[in-house]
Amino acid sequence: MTQAQLAGWRDRLLADWARIREELIGQLKASRQGDWAERASHCERDQLVDLTSRLDLPQVEQNVTALKRIDATLCQIELGLFGLCSDCEEPLNLTKLEQDPTQQRCPRCELRYRKGFHGHEL
């Protein structure tokens, strides 16, 4: 993968991050969690993941999960590991990365992960 491609992925993820962050802050305000919304609006990327991980609000769960996935992917880019399975380090399918750049595992390792931690198969 070229540096230009990586920069494109990073820009795409940062744009998604900003959009989801704003949705999350709006959800917090709407759920009368003004203090959390205020804190979230002043957080850096890693701080926001920590802060929102402590929330137990079903209405924001999907956005919190998305922020965690994006943060993990941005960290992989920074470490030079983007596009590799986080378990076996084999290259991930680029077509599938286009569909979901936050995927962390190849199909084989994803299946093993789900069996081991979730007790069911895909």
Distance separating alpha carbons of residues 28 and 85, to the nearest angstrom: 33
Question: By the 8 A CB rule, do 68 and 36 touch?
Answer: no
| Contact between residue 64 and residue 57 where contact means Cβ atoms under 8 Å apart | no
Give, in order, the Cα–Cα distances in Å from 58 to each of 52, 53, 63, 72, 78.
12, 12, 10, 22, 31
List Cβ<8 Å contacts ≥24 apart for 1-8: 1/82, 1/83, 6/77, 6/82
Supply the pTM of this predicted model.
0.83
The series of mean pLDDT values per 10 residues for the chain, 122 residues long, is 90 95 90 84 85 83 92 94 94 93 94 73 46
32: left (phi over 0), alpha (psi -120 to 50) or beta: left
The pLDDT of residue 117 is 62
Residue with tokens 């704003």: 22
